[in-house]
Amino acid sequence: MLRTTCVAMTLAVGLAGVAEAQEKIRLKLGHFLPTQSMTHNNLFVPMAERIKEETQGRVEVQIFPGGSLGRNPAQQLQLLMDGVTDISFIVQSYTPGEFPDNSLLELPLVLSTTREASVIHQRLYERGLLRGYDKVKVLGLATTSAYTTHINFPYRTLDDLKGRKIRVATSIQSEIVEALGATPVGGIAVTQAAESLSRGLIEGTLLGWESMNTFRVTPATSYHINVPQGFTPLMVGMNKQKYESLPADIKAAIDKVSGVWIAERMAENYDTMGGIALKDAKGTGRNTVVELTPEDRARWEKALLPIVDKWKASHPNGEKLFAALQEELKKLRGGS
């Protein structure tokens, strides 16, 4: 009987260990975007499904959209660090100073497409060239589509921007607007851009096309100057301690749904949203999308390229970072 009891106890302990090993892991993914957003439906939902599939159902990612775990976009990094969320969507420019090298991606006239900017963001991180990311587990990096200039007055040449009040969101955008002869206006959230335009507080804004319909800026503007004036970096991050606490096979499964997979998918989403907004603007009959003449383009380049040169000369490792960006850009445009 004693031998039978010992065997039974050993078996029970073993079964308990198996049950514990197979216990479902639940991760909280929080973001501030609405459920109807393309990023929610075409990134986070498929991401959660893929993680579940890669882990054979051992990991369940519960999505908390619309800021249900914290509405303020500027607090998303802190929510992640504090463990309120396990996975978060972070706009790095909302936490100034945390990611000091990301301003590289905000430079005007350097990158042309969302895919270029997003994949290069991811690759530069993987090469260990971007500071500030040691506090989190980076799942994927990307960018918005290119910021372009949207105004509520006619545009014929660069001279038409002189003295005009243009909304900006970052210090580099302020440099861009000043270099173009306009007056930068900060402190206006993107959610207030349309109202500020209607009230005459500003006469234009720098904004990516994917945000034009979301924040109803198209009806408040009439001319749209299609010149890429930098990209806003984005991150899908995971609480570092939470990630490190997971079994090795679970970490490997999550890694499969990370990196360039996220960069490419986010770029595709932003381009799709931007394409819809651009088509809508062209179809209104009152909005004009401006493609610069060669002469005007040369004037823009003369005004803006010194900003790039200044950044390379003044930023720590600026020359090295810019050279790495150009190297990755050449690879991408060459098909690799």
- Looking at the structure, do residues 263 and 213 belong to the same domain, yes or no? no
Q: Is 81 within 8 Å of 135 (Cβ atoms)? A: yes
Spatial separation of the C-alpha atoms in residues 44 and 158, rounded to whole Å: 41
187: domain CATH number is 3.40.190.170
> How many domains in the chain?
2
Q: What is the pTM of this model?
A: 0.88
- Looking at the structure, do residues 221 and 240 belong to the same domain, yes or no? no
- Looking at the structure, do residues 161 and 251 belong to the same domain, yes or no? no
- Looking at the structure, do residues 61 and 101 belong to the same domain, yes or no? yes
Q: What is the pLDDT of residues 210-254, one digit of tens each?
A: 999 888 999 999 999 999 999 999 999 999 999 999 999 999 999
Exposure on the CB side of residue 40, measured as CA atoms within 13 A: 14
- Looking at the structure, do residues 103 and 193 belong to the same domain, yes or no? no
Q: What is the per-residue pLDDT for 262?
A: 96
- Looking at the structure, do residues 35 and 54 belong to the same domain, yes or no? yes
Q: What is the per-residue pLDDT for 30?
A: 96
- Looking at the structure, do residues 196 and 317 belong to the same domain, yes or no? yes
Range of the domain at 237: 24-144+232-273
Whether residue 51 lies inside any domain: the answer is: yes
Whether residue 15 lies inside any domain: the answer is: no
- Looking at the structure, do residues 94 and 225 belong to the same domain, yes or no? no
Q: What is the per-residue pLDDT for 74?
A: 86
- Distances from the Cα of 80 to the Cαs of 69, 239, 266, in angstroms? 10, 6, 20
Whether residue 9 lies inside any domain: the answer is: no
Tell me, rounded to whole angstroms, the distance of Cα 13 from its chain centroid.
47
Spatial separation of the C-alpha atoms in residues 226 and 214, rounded to whole Å: 19
Q: Is 192 within 8 Å of 229 (Cβ atoms)? A: no
Q: Is 25 within 8 Å of 59 (Cβ atoms)? A: yes
- Looking at the structure, do residues 311 and 167 belong to the same domain, yes or no? yes
